[in-house]
Every structure is written in structure tokens, then in C-alpha cells.
């Protein structure tokens, strides 16, 4: 079966893991959750660095582990390209030699070079760094080289365990751009670990929500991110993520129309050409709810939908309301009083009101 299947049970001294999920490939599978819930443990099992008492790991039909059947491929035979928080480059080798080490790993596995050396260097913009040693590089440069080394090992899947955690915001955004290029230009499946919703929103296709050693939810990014009944909805930065396409520009009004969930959504003027695929992130705290269509309002986006699940956000004395659209959903954080005043109930009609400037265009 095409895709990634990963299931395991394991007991550490103070924590038990019971993980089980499947995700389609190609695409990017994101593991999301706060620190300490087991995301890195999942990566270690996938890569063969940790052997639980029970594990099943398969990638596009190839069985990498099945403990009940006595199958356990060692890390060097799994074809998983690993990138960690720290670059873990060989300090005594030049950038060129570090990259060649990745290529030698592929040769030892007998794997043909699908991803060329020159292509990786150009894709990651590291041509000027080849003669330098790791200690002379910035954090972002070291991570780009580490990604290049992993790519040149010709992996079946690239696993990135919090690769931006040790970088400042600017360097992190820089690496995200390169990861997006890898996704679109190489089509390489990725497992991306993060506790940052902005990072997840830019890269993920499938979202696996991990909580307390278990999978709380697994599904398409847009679906899981807009569920009101999940721990992800309780975060300060909770919100819906929608796929969109640039429909039209209106320079006179300084607005761009994006087509998302069967509707036009207006955002501040963008530079991307008409037809460009983008993603939108709409924070739950920025979504107002109304009955019917309000008149004479400054917000450009007045969107009719139906009420999905309504959940309590007790720490904030608030309520989380899912607004269902065509094949997608929004998430709104409002007061319980607003829910009562509007008579909101699952399946009922509701109008979402969103300011254009509140919508984040992720690219």
C-alpha cells in the first residue's frame, strides 16, 4: 500500500508510547505537538535508531520493520534521510566532503543517484560554501548543508526533527523556503517535526497530532487544524489553514482575491501571479461570528457557513466554534455569551467575518 504506516508500543521508565498512524505519500507528513510528547521517539523508530518491543513500519509497501514477523532493517538499509536540530556535520571535513559522505552512503546501499550533486548545491544555494569548514558557517548555512548531505544519500523519505528549533526567526524562514523548494521541485516525501503552527502550515499535507505518547488525530492539514475538539484548538495561535489560488489583483483597491473553499477571500495586495497556489492561515481569534449578512462593515470577508462542533476553552472562558465551508472549515474563538446570543448549534447557519489584514498568506 502506498504511503507511510508507523505503529509501535514502547515503555520508557516514566513514559509509555502507543503510536499508530498511516499517511499518504508523496507529500509532507507533519508531526505536531508540544515538547516531550514523543515526536522525536517516532522519528527514531522510523529511522531504526530505537527498537521497541512492538513495531510496524512500512514505506510505500516496503516493510522496514515488523517485530512480530522478525523483520528489523538496520538504519543504513532503511533509506531515511535524517536532519536534526543540530546539523551534526563532521567538523574536520569541508562542506564538499560532508556532501560527498552522503553520496557514498547511497553508493553503499547500491541506490542509483536520482538526486544529482549539482542539483542539490543549486537548490540549496551552497555553491559558495563548498571549500569551507562547518565552524565557519552560520546556523542556517549548516542546516542547508545537513539537508544537502541527507538528500545526496538518495533517501526514500526525508525526516526532519525540529530542524529550525536552534535557528533565529530569519534563518528559520530561510530554511523553510528551501524545504518548500525540495517539496515542489524534487517531490521527495518528508516527515517534518515541529511545535510551530506557522512552520506546519507552510509545509504539511497530512497533520499527525501527538499528545502524551498517543496520536490524538491524523488527517489532511486543513481538516485537523480546524477541529474545535482537539488540543491544537486550545493554543493561542490556533486557526484554520486553507489551500487557495490567486484569482485576481485589484491594484486600485490594493487587494488580491484568493479562491479558497469555493469562495473569494480578499487579502492585502500580493505579488504572486494569477493562478499561483498559496496557503492561508486564519487565526481563530480573528474570526467574528454573525447572524445573517451584516451591512456597512469594514471587514471585506463575510463568509456564510454552517456550525460544526462547539467546544469549551475553559482557561480563556471562551468557546471554540467550527464553521464548515465547502470541503474546508474555519475556527472561531468567541465568548460563551456570543454562542448563546446567536443561538449557535451544530448544523445551523452562521456567518464568519474576517478582516483582510488578519489573514496570513503563507505562500
Task: Write down the pTM of the prediction.
Answer: 0.90
pLDDT digits (tens, 9 = 90+) for 10-23: 998 888 999 999 99
d(CA 353, CA 74): 53
pLDDT digits (tens, 9 = 90+) for 304-323: 999 999 999 999 999 999 99
Kind and range of the H or E run holding 257:
strand 255-260
| Structural domain boundaries in the chain | 4-220, 239-361
Identify whether the C-beta of residue 193 lies closer than 8 Å to the C-beta of residue 161.
Answer: yes
pLDDT digits (tens, 9 = 90+) for 235-274: 999 999 999 999 999 999 999 999 999 999 999 999 999 9
Pick the CATH number of 4-220 from 3.30.230.10, 3.20.20.70, 1.10.20.10, 3.40.50.300: 3.40.50.300
List per-residue pLDDT tens for the chain, 363 residues long: 579 999 999 998 888 999 999 999 999 999 998 887 889 999 999 999 999 999 999 999 999 999 999 999 999 999 999 998 888 899 999 999 999 998 888 888 777 778 889 999 998 999 999 999 999 999 999 999 999 999 999 999 999 999 888 888 888 888 898 898 888 888 899 999 998 888 999 999 999 999 988 999 999 999 999 999 998 999 999 999 999 999 999 999 999 999 999 999 999 999 999 999 999 999 999 999 999 888 778 889 999 999 999 999 999 999 999 999 988 999 999 999 999 999 999 999 999 999 999 999 987
d(CA 240, CA 182): 25
- C-alpha to C-alpha distances, 236 to 165, 284, 292, 318, nearest whole angstrom: 19, 9, 28, 12
> Distance between alpha carbon 12 and the CA centroid of its chain, in Å?
27
Cell of 107: 553508493
The pLDDT value recorded for residue 70 is: 95
Listed in sequence order, the residues at least 6 apart from 140 whose beta carbon sits closer than 8 Å to its beta carbon are 167, 171, 172, 174, 175
Domains 4-220 and 239-361 share a fold: no
Cell of 118: 549539482
Cell of 31: 508531526
Cell of 97: 566532503
Please give the backbone phi and psi of residue 163, each rounded to the nearest 5 degrees, phi first. -70, -15
CB count in 10 Å sphere of residue 279: 20
Identify whether the C-beta of residue 359 lies closer than 8 Å to the C-beta of residue 299.
Answer: no
Rounded to the nearest 5 degrees, what angle is found at the Cα of 318, between the Cα atoms of 315 and 324?
A: 125
What string of DSSP letters covers 315-353? Answer: GGTEEEEEEE-SS-EEEEEE-HHHHHHHT--TT-EEEEE
Identify whether the C-beta of residue 33 lies closer than 8 Å to the C-beta of residue 211.
Answer: yes
Q: Could you say which architecture CATH assigns to the domain 239-361?
A: Beta Barrel (2.40)
Q: Is the peptide bond before 26 cis (omega within 30 degrees of 0)?
A: yes
Amino acid at each position: 500500500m502506498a504511503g507511510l504506516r508507523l505503529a509501535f508500543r514502547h515503555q520508557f521508565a516514566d513514559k509509555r508510547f502507543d503510536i499508530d498512524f498511516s499517511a499518504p505519500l508523496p507529500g509532507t507528513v507533519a508531526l505536531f505537538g508540544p515538547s516531550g510528547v514523543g515526536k522525536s521517539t517516532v522519528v527514531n523508530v522510523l529511522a531504526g535508531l530505537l527498537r521497541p518491543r512492538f513495531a510496524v513500519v512500512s514505506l510505500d509497501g516496503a516493510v522496514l520493520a515488523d517485530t512480530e514477523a522478525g523483520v528489523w532493517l538496520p538504519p543504513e538499509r532503511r533509506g531515511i534521510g535524517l536532519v536534526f536540530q543540530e546539523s551534526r556535520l563532521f567538523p574536520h571535513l569541508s562542506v564538499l566532503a560532508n556532501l560527498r559522505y552522503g553520496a557514498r552512503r547511497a553508493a553503499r546501499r547500491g541506490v542509483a543517484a536520482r538526486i544529482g550533486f549539482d542539483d542539490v548545491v543549486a537548490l540549496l544555494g551552497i555553491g559558495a560554501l563548498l571549500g569551507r569548514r562547518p565552524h565557519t558557517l552560520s546556523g542556517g548555512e549548516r542546516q542547508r548543508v545537513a539537508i544537502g548531505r541527507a538528500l545526496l544519500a538518495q533517501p526514500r523519505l526525508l525526516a526532519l526533527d525540529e530542524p529550525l528549533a536552534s535557528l533565529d526567526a530569519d534563518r528559520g524562514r530561510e530554511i523553510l523556503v528551501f524545504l518548500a523548494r525540495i517539496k515542489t521541485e524534487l517531490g521527495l516525501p518528508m516527515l517534518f517535526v515541529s511545535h510551530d503552527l506557522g512552520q506546519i502550515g507552510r509545509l504539511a499535507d497530512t497533520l499527525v497530532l501527538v499528545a502524551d505518547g498517543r496520536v490524538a488525530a491524523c488527517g489532511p492539514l486543513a481538516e485537523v487544524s480546524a477541529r474545535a475538539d482537539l488540543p491544537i484548538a486550545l493554543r493561542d495561535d490556533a486557526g484554520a489553514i486553507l489551500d487557495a489560488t490567486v484569482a485576481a489583483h485589484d491594484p486600485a483597491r490594493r487587494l488580491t482575491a484568493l479562491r479558497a473553499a469555493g469562495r473569494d477571500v480578499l487579502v492585502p495586495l500580493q505579488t504572486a501571479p494569477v493562478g499561483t497556489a498559496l496557503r492561508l492561515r486564519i487565526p481563530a481569534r480573528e474570526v467574528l461570528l454573525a447572524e445573517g449578512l451584516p451591512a456597512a462593515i469594514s471587514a471585506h470577508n463575510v463568509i456564510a457557513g454552517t456550525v460544526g462542533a462547539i467546544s469549551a476553552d475553559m482557561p480563556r472562558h471562551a468557546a471554540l466554534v467550527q464553521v464548515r465551508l465547502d470541503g474546508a472549515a474555519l475556527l472561531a474563538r468567541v465568548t460563551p455569551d456570543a454562542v448563546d446570543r446567536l443561538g449557535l448549534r451544530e448544523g445551523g447557519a452562521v456567518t464568519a467575518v474576517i478582516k483582510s489584514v488578519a489573514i496570513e498568506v503563507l505562500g
